A and B are shown apart, each in its own frame.
Chain A
Amino acid sequence: MTGFRVKHGMTKCNMETLTEGFRKALSLILNLDKELLGIICLSLKVSGLALLISTALGLPIGALMGLKRFPLRGVVVSFMNTFMGLPPVVVGLFVYLLLSRSGPLGFMGLLYTPSAMVIAQTILAFPIVTSLSHSAIVSVDPIMQQASITLGATSSQVTLTIIGEARYGIMSGVIAAFGRVMAEVGAILIVGGNIAGYTRVMTTTIALETDKGNFELAIALGIILLLISLSINIFLHLIQKKSMIRTK
């Protein structure tokens, strides 16, 4: 019976904490709290940069995989597809070992810096952008390539045309990768160290503040993360809706 009472008491307490947390979180958001804004900005900066680098690398490689025939192409495609599901903590561990003082890239002094976080997130986003770009490009009807050749396009113009035709699929891949890195916590926690005002981003702050019992900041960031996720999904939906015209 005691056990039930304790459990009931804790639930009541948690509900109050949650309500109070929400109230304070909204106040933080509405008052544009400086610490909150700093964390959001760093999150967007790190993930945005990682996305930019992974797209700059992944899109041409995805296009190459989709348009050219080369030895072991199937193996490369399979590897890329597998790497889409890379566990963030494993990536974090790998980057940590590379950048730690005794590691091969330790001399660069990047561990526990935003740059290390960008590297880790780039590794996570790159296979997603590459693999989904490849899928989008191979799903373009081969007739499009022939049509552009017959209309006088050079081989580089043909490639750009095919990438243009695959644009909605590619954009979906880029947005999916952004969603993945924005929500990721394991890798950046390991390589960034969660240093306040320097490497602390939304997800790592949520983890830390929850541990400390400071729910208001965690909830405020959770709401913002959800809003970002919702925006990403709405955008994805709009892209998919626009690309649906192809199948009509």
Chain B
Amino acid sequence: MKLIVSDIWKSYNGNAVLKDCSFSFDSNNTYALMGPNGSGKSTFLRICSLLEEPDKGEINYFSGENILKKDIGLRRRITLVLPKVGMFNTTVLKNVAYGLKVRGMGRKEIEERASNALEFVGLTHKRDQNALTLSSGEAQRLGIARAIVIEPEIIFLDEPTASIDMKNTKIIEDIIIKMKEQKGTIIILTTHDIAQAERLAEKILLMNEGKIISIPPF
């Protein structure tokens, strides 16, 4: 087991979004989390990636360390790609380098790893362009490059293909499949597209009434 979520509760203005939510995620697996809008998928991802704190509950991963301790070293082993990527007003390369720079890596290593990540998502030709000029599909690919460059053990992808065209959806799906094959990380993504969930994930989960339930394979 690599990630164990136990009895997570979260409410906004008295409305419970997550109710006693528990699940165990295995290593080297990809999970697709599905459910209607407002079912708590994004909240679940934001809590697991430490963007938000739950009202109650525990998240343990990597040999029982509690993620809620907010240990920066522990936090740096996971990442979340937001649906709206949030690009820094600088070049594409510097956007990718950000996660390495905050970890205090050397310039040469940053340059090399960032270039590799850009190649991985097919954005090498845009490396010196301002990231704010990218299309939404390219921006999403940049978001993934920023995430994989830090070599996390768990990547959360919140609706990675929402509001992008079919061509870019295909490109991003191919990148996710390539990530599964090469990187060996736990990937947990949210989607509304059941066909996409089947294409990308080994396990499909459904968020229902603030709880996660596993759907057996079709």
Contact = CB atoms under 8 A, between A and B. Distances in A.
Nearest to A155: B72
B105 to A, nearest CB: 11
Contacts of B84: 143
A151 B133 CA distance: 21
Interface residues of B, number: 26
Given A143-B86, A245-B130, A248-B132, A150 B102 contact: no
A56 interface: no
A150 B82 contact: yes
A141 B86 contact: yes
Given A245-B130, A245-B132, A150 B85 contact: no
Contacts of B147: 150-151
Nearest to A140: B89
B167 interface: no
Main secondary structure of the interface of A (DSSP, over half): helix
B89 A245 contact: yes
A131 B76 CA distance: 34
Contacts of B81: 150
A151 B85 CA distance: 11
Interface in A140-157: 141, 143-144, 146-154, 157
A150 B87 CA distance: 12
Contacts of B50: 149
A207 B172 CA distance: 67
A154 B72 contact: yes
Interface residues of A, number: 20
A146 B146 contact: no
Contact of A157 (B75, B85, B102): B102
Contact of A248 (B79, B82, B87, B133): B133
Interface in A206-248: 243, 245-246, 248
A245 B90 CA distance: 10
Contact of B88 (A144, A150, A154): A144
A150 B49 contact: yes
Given A144-B88, A161-B88, A152 B99 contact: yes
Contacts of B51: 146, 149-150
Given A151-B98, A152-B102, A165 B89 contact: yes
Contacts of B88: 144, 147, 161, 164-165
Contact of B82 (A147, A152, A153, A246): A147
Interface of A: 141, 143-144, 146-154, 157, 161, 164-165, 243, 245-246, 248
